[in-house]
Structure 1
Amino acid sequence: MNRITLPLLLTAAALLAAPAMARDSHLAFVSSEKDHAITMVDLATLAVVGVIPTCRRPRHMQRLHGDAQLMVACSDSGRADIIDLATRKSLGKVPLGDDPEVFDLSADGRTAFVSAEDDGALNVFDLASKKQVGSIPVGKEPEGVKVSPDGQRVYVSSEVANRVHVIDTATLKVVKNIPVGRRPRRFAFSADGSELWVTNELGSSVSVISTRELKVLATVAFEVKGMRADDITPVGIALSRDGRTMYVGLGRANHVAFVDVATRKTTALALVGKRAWGLAVSRDGSRLFVVNGLSDDMTVVDTATAKPLKTIAVGRVPHTVVIDD
């Protein structure tokens, strides 16, 4: 399969009979695995303003090309729901195979790359036809998926193999397997795309990969006073809007680390809720939204001071937050 020969993705209106495009709803959308729903939080008041029912065990979410819709992967339903951001209703379904968790979209928005943990594969779906068009074997228990800014590669983390698999999106072939830390989970690119940062949940660290040389350049280890290394379990990661700081959720350590990208040093630790995993940054960069999976809430952090502003109950076992501001 070649990128340029994929069927053209229909417009949102043609594909799912969607209403007029909506942007900037000034809401945070948080998936709740146990409530089978998405909680909406008003960004001005930081109050819950509603709930959107969805398929079972919603986890990873991402806005579709054009930002009018939200794609929600539901592990127990084997599909994604497509939520219209104007009406906050489900418009349709896209099959994603057994137990989908994390996905990313191709640069043109036509293709979804989905980690299939049970299959040990990266599955590829055409969103217009709603058909699976490829499957690439990778290491056991793949999770994190990240498409390069130029769309030419997709990176997949294997939790058991402790590797990052680099796949060419034109040929759907693995071109490199990169050893990293223990149990790699999620990814974030540096601002210029020259580095890919991957969190190592059982390694209490982040591996920094050169996207040109496809090798690990450095390992950033984390420490939290009064906690053992086993309690520091990095998963979620997000880049600041100015590209200078990488935010890393430290899981069971109940903190988020602020890491200077240039020096790769931790400059601050923000106290948040239990099992801090999912992260998202506001458009102006002033706030960091942290989903806490074991305390069933979301902490909003002031990025200038690394201080929590408010913690909001957002449903049982929240997984991912998407900011629409």
Structure 2
Amino acid sequence: MLDSKKIIILAVSLSVIMSGCALETKQEAAQRLQSKTGAGGNGENANNSQSAAGKLTSVQFYVPSEKENKLSVIDVVSSKVVGSIPLSETPSTVVFSTTMREAFAANQMSSSVSFINTQTLKVEKEVPVGPMPHGMVLSPDNKMLYVATVADQFVYLVDTKEGKEAGTIDLGQGARTNYLVLFGEKLYVSDHENHKVYVVNVKTKQVMMTIPTGKIPRAIKLSDDGKKLYVPSAGDHALEVYNTADGKLLSKISVAEGATDVAVTEDGLTAIVTSMEGSAVSFVDLASGKTIKTLTGLAGARHISFNRQQTKAYVTLSGSDEVIVIDTAKQEVVERIKVGAQPHGIQLKALPGIGGSC
């Protein structure tokens, strides 16, 4: 763990201004972003760009770039990079508070979590955690951040109000934590080295159940009702589906090599699986348990996030320094967005009720 000064967080109360990208056309977005497509410019244009990118009601994707130690802000309407936030070493994933006023980024080689003000696009503090923080999940009340650290057996708890570590959850000797998902009082943690998922009671901090999985489970997800656990198994080139009540395997579906992340549609009928080593994205029919289409040639396809209506899926390509936009109805790539070097995670920033058509 890094030695670092502990900084007390400043509590700032702001009112939410309600407007949205649903009211903004492509032409209006282009006019707003004219000569302001990123934070790399000079003088007034660059400052104005950052200011526009920090608008609370803007619907955006945040994308950490490992090799450039920064986070790119993508405007959803225009598909342009409109802002950039310097981070510490090798940022991997990012999560938002429910108000979208604050984001948290995991910095692997700095063993820290950055607290980001999404209006100023600045890091307000950096909290040390365990070695190589990776996946993160935030409690619904925004008070507790759970951080998986690839290099040890603990999940680290970060008190977001106090801005400091608030304890750990010990998963046992030899455990390795990777990705997390939270449902009620149950925290699901993937262990990529020991090929299992731990189910932890966050109140007691005790492991309730251990689910054996295929080889190298990665970015796990849950169904909306919490009854199914989706596990991309990189070593078995598969998407596995488990019953969360008893941990039993329901189905195992072949996908491209190196399954990495998964997004499931709201109706529970379709899953989209990224495969980093296979440089592919697979569309899976969950009812039949079959892959129905695979998009190939997508260098290092890593993480995935839907837009609000699930009409588009955004995927980071760590091998080509891009985010691709997939039309989910046509099941094809329709746009490519250049971002920082070796993009890792991707997360949507959108207030409830804002940007319904984006």
TM range (shorter): 0.7 to 0.9
Q: What is the total number of aligned residue pairs between the two structures?
A: 302
For 2:11 and 2:192, how far apart are their aligned partners in 1?
A: 35
Q: What SS does the corresponding residue of 2:345 show, helix, strand or coil?
A: strand
How big is each residue's C-alpha offset from its partner over 1:64-121, in whole Å with a ceiling of 9 and x where there is no partner? 1322211111112222112222222222223322221111122332212211222222
TM-score between the two structures when normalised by the length of structure 1: 0.87
2:165 aligned with 1:134 = no
Letter in 2 for 1:182: K
2:214 aligned with 1:189 = no
Letter in 1 for 2:185: Q
Q: Displacement of 1:18 after TM fit?
A: 6.8
For 1:322 and 1:117, how far apart are their aligned partners in 2?
A: 20
Compared CA separation, residues 121 and 133, structure 1 to 2 (3 A): closer
2:302 aligned with 1:277 = yes
For 1:214 and 1:288, how far apart are their aligned partners in 2?
A: 29
Q: Quick one: which of 135, 138, 153 aligns to 1:120? A: 153
Q: Displacement of 1:162 after TM fit?
A: 0.7
- Identity across aligned pairs (percent)? 26
2:332 aligned with 1:307 = yes
Structure 2: stretches of 5+ with no match in the other structure = 1-8, 17-54, 351-358
Q: Displacement of 1:249 after TM fit?
A: 0.2
- In the TM superposition, what are the counterparts of 1:162-177 in structure 2 within 5 Å? 162-177=195-210
CA contact (8 A) 1:271 1:307 kept: no
Q: What SS does the corresponding residue of 2:287 show, helix, strand or coil?
A: coil
Q: Displacement of 1:43 after TM fit?
A: 1.5
Q: Quick one: which of 237, 241, 260 aligns to 1:208? A: 241
Q: Quick one: which of 186, 190, 201 aligns to 1:157? A: 190
CA contact (8 A) 1:78 1:98 kept: yes
For 1:274 and 1:159, how far apart are their aligned partners in 2?
A: 22
Partner of 1:98: 131
Q: Pairwise CA RMSD of aligned residues?
A: 1.9
Partner of 2:232: 199
TM-score between the two structures when normalised by the length of structure 2: 0.79
Letter in 2 for 1:236: D
Look at both structures and tell me which one has the larger radius of gyration over its CA atoms.
Answer: 2
Q: Quick one: which of 28, 35, 40 aligns to 2:68? A: 35
Q: Which moved more, 1:204-213 or 1:19-28?
A: 19-28
For 1:28 and 1:317, how far apart are their aligned partners in 2?
A: 16
For 1:242 and 1:282, how far apart are their aligned partners in 2?
A: 15
- In the TM superposition, what are the counterparts of 1:207-226 in structure 2 within 5 Å? 207-222=240-255
Partner of 2:178: 143
How big is each residue's C-alpha offset from its partner over 1:23-53, in whole Å with a ceiling of 9 and x where there is no partner? 4312221100111101122222212223111
Compared CA separation, residues 163 and 233, structure 1 to 2 (3 A): same
Q: What SS does the corresponding residue of 2:89 show, helix, strand or coil?
A: coil
For 1:247 and 1:260, how far apart are their aligned partners in 2?
A: 9
CA contact (8 A) 2:106 2:113 kept: yes
Structure 1: stretches of 5+ with no match in the other structure = 1-13, 224-231
